[in-house]
Structure 1
Amino acid sequence: EHEVFLRFSDLIQGKTAVLISHRFSTVRMADRILFLENGQLLELGSHEELLAMGGKYAELFHLQAKGYVD
């Protein structure tokens, strides 16, 4: 899986790409993340910006990350 994302990253250099994923390990590599809920844009920013906002994205990220730590 890691190699697939490395290849994808190489293919989109200098281009715009849309990646839809529920996996935070995948979306972290995006320059800009659009967080949607019920079809509505809820939050927008980089991974770091969304974590700093402490909103729904951050809540779900920490919930998913906790599963890897416990």
Structure 2
Amino acid sequence: MRLTEFNEMVGIEFGRLRSDAMLVDHVLIELGGRTGAQAIADGVDPRDVWRALCRDFEVPPERW
């Protein structure tokens, strides 16, 4: 997944304002206790960050 696609999907699913805050504030335990923004900066595939967010926020699997 490209970063542009990731940003688009996060914005659509959670709303632009909420997603911007979520990526810098919400800690993803399954990604080593990093925020989504930190994980991406550390080289984690955006697809893995997307899936972790979906699990944490109980997004139905058909929208992953």
TM surpasses 0.5: no
**TM-score (structure 1 length as normaliser):** 0.28
Instruction: Answer 1 or 2: which has greater helix percent.
Output: 2
Structure with the bigger RCO (C-alpha within 8 Å, sep 6+) is 2
**TM-score (structure 2 length as normaliser):** 0.29
Instruction: Answer 1 or 2: which has greater strand percent.
Output: 1
